[in-house]
Amino acid sequence: MGKKSKNSRKKVQRKSRQQRRKKNIDDDEEFSQTIEACNTCTDVHILRSISEMPSWCCTHNRIIFAGYRPITLSSWQTIRSLFLIHNETGNIWTHMGGAIMFYFLFQHVCRNPPDTRSMSRVDFFYLCVFFFGVFVCLFQSTLYHLFSSHSLKLNKLFAKLDYCGITILIGCSFIPWIHYGFYNSPLLQIWYISFTIICTIICVMFCIYDPFCNPRYHHYRTLMFMAHGFLVFVPAIHWISREMNNDRSLLSLDHRAHLLIFIQGITFLTGSLIYIFKLPESIYPNITIFSLWFNSHQLFHILVIFGLVIYYHSLILIMKMRLNNPNCFVN
């Protein structure tokens, strides 16, 4: 018995030693690839093909064959690339443009709150939670796409922040809905908001956990985001089912709410399918324009912004309906 357990302990130690050695080899390979790339590329204007880039630089889409910025390890060169045409230009500007647009929208909302008569500070706070999620996601995504080819270290760091941004946006989008949906049920409000926050914190912890950011686990990450979206959607299902079973429901006051929720669902679903199946470049891999423009990641970014605008409108609509009818659907 003792001999057996000693043997199995030895086996485990040998396995972990092998894994450590393999990881070191992987890191060394990546590092030497970076150095190799840096030795040959110093000018950010000279774009590269996928075969000239280290593998870590092209993880999110290997059907994009050209238009890569060289790895310069220079922050100045990287920031300069903001105003150049390469395969991250569309990705950077779609989310940076979205962040600027939402900034002006937030300024407008602060100056002209949607419902000054009945809106309390708490109601306004929940609207700000949505804007916070939007800013964090769009800003961190912009940083990732901008610095993705700076160096392996910054690529990894900003990839983690990008994943965290998606998770924070999912959480922050649902919290205001819970507040306005369960306006007259404080216990359900507290329960569901706590549930959403806990789910978001767990997902953020996964996002910053080093092994989880490995490109090998790309599918697990996508699954995690989908599971997170589904989990925090549970309160929404509860709310909609309560609404449907009630004659004095909030949604029945304005049928535009149904339409907005439907369009929003279609937008996010279309965006996810385009992202997962890499459309259209996976169907037309020989069309070179997709390396720079109109590829799946850019379309996904545009649909995210479009979905967020619709989400904002549905949130304002539901907020106005709730504030004008605070007693609608009292349990």
Q: Which residues bind Zn ion (CB under 5 A)?
A: 141
* Residue whose C-beta lies closest to Zn ion: 141
Dist. CA 244–CA 240, nearest whole Å: 6
**Alpha-carbon distances of 188 from 228, 231, 232, rounded to whole Å:** 19, 15, 14
Per the annotation, does 150 bind a ligand? no
- Kindly state the smallest distance separating residue 298's Cβ from Zn ion, in Å: 9
Which DSSP state fits 120? -
The least distance separating Zn ion from the CB of residue 301, rounded to whole angstroms, comes to 6
Q: Was 238 annotated as part of a binding site?
A: no
Buried-exposed string 11-42: b where 16+ CB fall within 10 A, e elsewhere = eeeeeeeeeeeeeeeeeeebeebbeebbeebe
Half-sphere exposure of 98 (CA within 13 A, CB side): 29
Peptide bond into 114 cis (omega under 30): no
Confirm or deny that 95 is annotated as ligand binding.
no
Which one, 96 or 178, has the nearer CB to Zn ion? 96
Which residue reads 């092209």 in tokens? 58
Q: Which is nearer to Zn ion, 179 or 301 (CB)?
A: 301
Whichever of 145 and 322 has its CB closer to Zn ion, that residue is: 145
CB of 199: closest distance to Zn ion in angstroms? 22
Least gap, CB of 96 to Zn ion (angstroms): 11
Residue number with CB closer to Zn ion (65 or 300) = 300
Angstrom distance (rounded) from CA 139 to CA 81 = 17
Ramachandran area for residue 310 (φ above 0: left; ψ -120 to 50: alpha; else beta) = alpha
Minimum separation from the CB atom of position 141 to Zn ion (A): 5
* Known binding positions: 145, 297, 301
* Known binding positions for Zn(2+): 145, 297, 301
